[in-house]
Structure 1
Amino acid sequence: MKAYFSSLLFLVSYCNCVAQQDTLFLSEEWIETSKETAQFYRIETSVFTEKEMVMVEDYYLDGQLKMVGYFTFPKSQIRQGRFVFYHRNGTKASEGNFEKGHCAGDWIYWYKNGVKKETRFFETPEPTKELSQMGKVIDLWDSTGRHLVVNGTGDYQSSDDEEDYTIQGRLVNSRREGEWLGRYENGAIFFKEKYQNDVLISGVSYDSIGTEYRYKELAVQPEPKVGMHKFYVYISKNLRYPKAARRQGIEGKVFVQFFINEEGKIVDVKAIKGISQDCDEAAEKVVAGAPDWTPGIQRGQRVKVKMILPITFKIH
C-alpha cells in the first residue's frame, strides 16, 4: 500500500535566532542512514521561538530541493506550519499547512508543467475527531488548465504519476456521489464503486485475470492475529540484548523494516537503521519470529504491506 509528501519568505515570522545547522542523510524510507546508501539529504536548522522548531530542507543527492517546512522538537518528529513540496524537475508540487502532523486548511497542488492541478481543504485536527487525510476537493483542473471541478462540484479525474491507474467520478459539494471508476493505463477496469453523500455503499475490484473482489471498506490495515498489545509483549519478552553490546554500553534504536505478505506472514525482514551488527541481528530475529498477522486488504484484494518497527536497546 502506498503506504501509507519556493520562496522562504515565511521564515521572517520564525527566525528570531538560529542556533545550529545539521545535515542528515536519509534512505528511501526517510530513515537516517549513511551517505553511501542515502537517497536524499536533509538540512536541519534549529530555530528558537516561543516554541522550539526545526526548519527542514530536504534535497535530492544532486542538490535539487524536494521539500521545505518546519518540525517541532524533539528531533523533527511532528510537521508543524507551512510546507512546500517540489516535483523532481524543480517545479512546485504542493503547498499548505500542517497542524500537529496533519494537513490543515487549504492546500494547493500543481502539475509538473506548472499548471495548477487542484485545491483541497483539510479540517484542523481535534483530539476526539477522526480525520480524513484525503481532504475535500474544492477545485480541479486538467493539465491544460481546463476547470473540471468548481467549488466542490464537477467531474473528478485523477492523474497521479505515482499510480498506475486513474480515478473518475462525480463530486457534489466536495462529496462523492454515484458511480466511481478506476481504470488501468490500458483502459481495463480496476474497480467500480458506488457512493452516497461521500459514503461507500459498495465496491468491486478486478485482478489481472478478471477475478472479482467485493468490498464495503476501501482499505483494511494488517494486524497481528494475537492483537497489537500481545505483539509488543512478544517483542519485549523475546528480544535478547547481545552480551558484547551490553558490555560495550551500546544503546539506541534499531529500525526494522518488514513486510506482511498476502498470507499474513512476516517476510523480508531487514534492519534499515541500526546501532551495531549484533543488535541489528537480534532485532531482525525477534521480528522474524513473531506470530502471523491478518493481511492488509485494499479494495477487497489482499496486498503486501511494508511496516517499520523501532526497537529500543536500553541498559537498565
Structure 2
Amino acid sequence: MNKYLLLLFVLLMYSTGLKSQETIKLFYTSDWKVTKEDEAIYYRESEYDLNNFELDGSVFDYALSGKLIMEGNYLNGKKNGNFIFYYDNGEIKNKGQYENNRRIGRWEYFYNNGKLKQVVLFKSRNEHDFSVLEYYNRDGKQLLENGTGKWKNDSIQTGMFDTESLKTVTGQFNDSLKHGVWKLIRISDNKLMHSERFQKGKLVEATIYNAQFDYYGTISSEIVNKIPDENSTKFINTEKFDLDTTVYPVALLFSDVETIFETITGKKYEVQNRDAGYIYGDYSLLEFLEKNIRYPRSAVDERITGKVYVGVVIDSLGNTRKVQLVKGIHEDLDKEAQRVVRLVDKWMPAIRDGKVVKSTITIPVNFQIKE
C-alpha cells in the first residue's frame, strides 16, 4: 500500500434500538482474554445488550480477590460516560469521561499515595489535542500551573519505536499550548527516540530515530501519544470477546457470537430481536474490509476522501441478496466500496419477535488520505 495513504474504515450499523439487557459475569486472563474461573486473574460484572451481544450499561472490573479496579459505563458497545480506575491499594489512579471510546474533557491523575499528579484537558476526540492544566511531582510540588510550566510523563509504554523498555516524555506548556522542544527518551539508556518542536501549539518539525539503520529522520506529523490510554488493549480484547485459547478450542474463535456466548457462560440465549450484522462481529468485519479494500489510484491523484454509504440486503438465511450504493462521493471509490462489501459472505440475519427476517443494513466506508 502506498506509504502516503492511511485508510480508516468506520462501520456503523443503523440500529433499531431493540435491546435486551442482562448483567453478565465473565472471567479474564492477565491480558484480558475470556477464560475459565480457575485460570482467571480478573473478573467483570457488566450489563450486556444480548440482542446485539455488546456492552451496554454499567461495567465493574475486579481482581479475583474482589478488589475493584475499574468502574465505568457503555452505550451501544462504546465507552460513554464516567470511568474511574484504581491502584491495587484502592487509591484512585485516574478518572474522567469517555465519549464514543475516546477520553474527553477534564481528567485527573493521581499517584498511588493518593496525591494529585496532574489535571489534563482532552479537547477533542483526537487524543493528541490535549493540555495539562496542573502538574505536581510525587512530593506535591507544583511544576505546572494554569496551563504553563514543565511537564513529564514517565514510564509510558509505546510500540512505535521498540518494545524493549519504557519511555519518558518531557515538554513544556505555555498558556495551555505545547511550546518548545518535546522529547521521548528511552529510560534504559537515556537515548533520544523522538523529538518534536512546537510554536504556541503548532507542530513546527519532528525527528524520529530509526533503530534499524541507526539514524534520525525527519517527519511532518505529531505521532507520539503523550498520554497513551494504558487500558486500550484491555478494552479492545473485552469488547470483542477475545478468548483464551489455552482453555477454549481455537475453532471457537471462528464461531458466531451466540455460540461463543453460550460456550463461555453455559447459558443458551434465544434472541428475540436484533439487527442483521457480520456473523463474527463488527471488529472482524472491519479487519476484513481493511484487508481487502484497495484505494483507487484515480481518487488518490485527485485527493478525493470521504464516506461511501453501501446498503446490503440480507435474507433470512444470512445471504447477501443485494448490494447497492446509498450515497457516493466518487465513481471509483463508490465501486470499490461496493466491491469489497460484496466479498462478505457470512451475515447474521435480523430477528424480529423471535423470527429471522429479511432486512437491510447500511455500512459507511470512510476513505481518508493522510500525508
Q: TM-score, normalised by structure 1?
A: 0.56
Using the TM superposition, give the Cα deviation of residue 254 of structure 1 relative to its aligned residue in structure 2, in angstroms.
8.4
Which of 191, 210, 217 is the aligned partner of 2:221? 217
Q: What letter corresponds to residue 42 of structure 2 in structure 1?
A: F
Which of 186, 191, 199 is the aligned partner of 1:188? 191
Cα distance between partner residues in 1 of 2:38 and 2:128 = 34
Q: Verify: 1:173 aligned to 2:175, yes or no.
A: yes
- How many residues were matched structurally? 219
**Contact 2:121-2:133 at 8 Å conserved across structures:** yes
Equivalence for 1:122: 122
Equivalence for 1:158: 153
Using the TM superposition, give the Cα deviation of residue 219 of structure 1 relative to its aligned residue in structure 2, in angstroms.
3.3
Q: Deviations over 1:110-166 (max 9, x none)?
A: 12232211101233x6xxxx6336532111111111111101100111123546111
Cα distance between partner residues in 2 of 1:30 and 1:312 = 30
Cα distance between partner residues in 2 of 1:184 and 1:69 = 33
Q: Percent identity?
A: 23
Q: Give 1:28-107 correspondences, 5 Å limit.
A: 30=32, 32-35=34-37, 38-45=40-47, 54-73=57-76, 77-107=77-107
Larger strand proportion, structure 1 or 2?
Answer: 1
**Contact 2:103-2:127 at 8 Å conserved across structures:** no
**Contact 2:135-2:145 at 8 Å conserved across structures:** yes
Using the TM superposition, give the Cα deviation of residue 210 of structure 1 relative to its aligned residue in structure 2, in angstroms.
3.6
Equivalence for 1:15: none
Using the TM superposition, give the Cα deviation of residue 170 of structure 1 relative to its aligned residue in structure 2, in angstroms.
1.6
Runs of 5+ consecutive residues of structure 2 not aligned to the other structure: 1-20, 50-54, 159-165, 225-239, 244-249, 261-278, 295-343, 350-371
Cα distance between partner residues in 1 of 2:42 and 2:345 = 25
Equivalence for 1:21: 23
Structure 2 counterpart SS, 1:219: coil
Using the TM superposition, give the Cα deviation of residue 273 of structure 1 relative to its aligned residue in structure 2, in angstroms.
4.2
Structure 1 counterpart SS, 2:26: strand
Cα distance between partner residues in 2 of 1:97 and 1:156 = 22
Q: Against the structure 1 CA distance between its residues 162 and 144, is the aligned structure 2 distance closer, same or farther, given a 3 Å change threshold?
A: farther
Q: What letter corresponds to residue 147 of structure 1 in structure 2?
A: Q
Structure 1 counterpart SS, 2:114: coil
Cα distance between partner residues in 2 of 1:148 and 1:39 = 38
Q: What letter corresponds to residue 219 of structure 1 in structure 2?
A: I
Q: Against the structure 1 CA distance between its residues 155 and 105, is the aligned structure 2 distance closer, same or farther, given a 3 Å change threshold?
A: same
Cα distance between partner residues in 1 of 2:251 and 2:200 = 44
Q: Deviations over 1:272-308 (max 9, x none)?
A: 944279x99xx9xx97xx5799xxxxxxxxxxxxxxx
Q: Against the structure 1 CA distance between its residues 131 and 205, is the aligned structure 2 distance closer, same or farther, given a 3 Å change threshold?
A: closer
Q: Against the structure 1 CA distance between its residues 38 and 168, is the aligned structure 2 distance closer, same or farther, given a 3 Å change threshold?
A: same
Cα distance between partner residues in 1 of 2:82 and 2:98 = 6
Runs of 5+ consecutive residues of structure 1 not aligned to the other structure: 1-18, 221-252, 257-269, 294-310
Q: Which moved more, 1:102-111 or 1:209-218?
A: 209-218
Q: Against the structure 1 CA distance between its residues 193 and 78, is the aligned structure 2 distance closer, same or farther, given a 3 Å change threshold?
A: same
Cα distance between partner residues in 2 of 1:93 and 1:197 = 30
Q: What letter corresponds to residue 117 of structure 1 in structure 2?
A: K
**Contact 2:109-2:116 at 8 Å conserved across structures:** yes
Deviation beyond 6 Å, 4+ runs, structure 1: 253-256
Q: What letter corresponds to residue 117 of structure 2 in structure 1?
A: K
Cα distance between partner residues in 2 of 1:292 and 1:89 = 48
Q: Against the structure 1 CA distance between its residues 64 and 211, is the aligned structure 2 distance closer, same or farther, given a 3 Å change threshold?
A: farther
Q: TM-score, normalised by structure 2?
A: 0.49
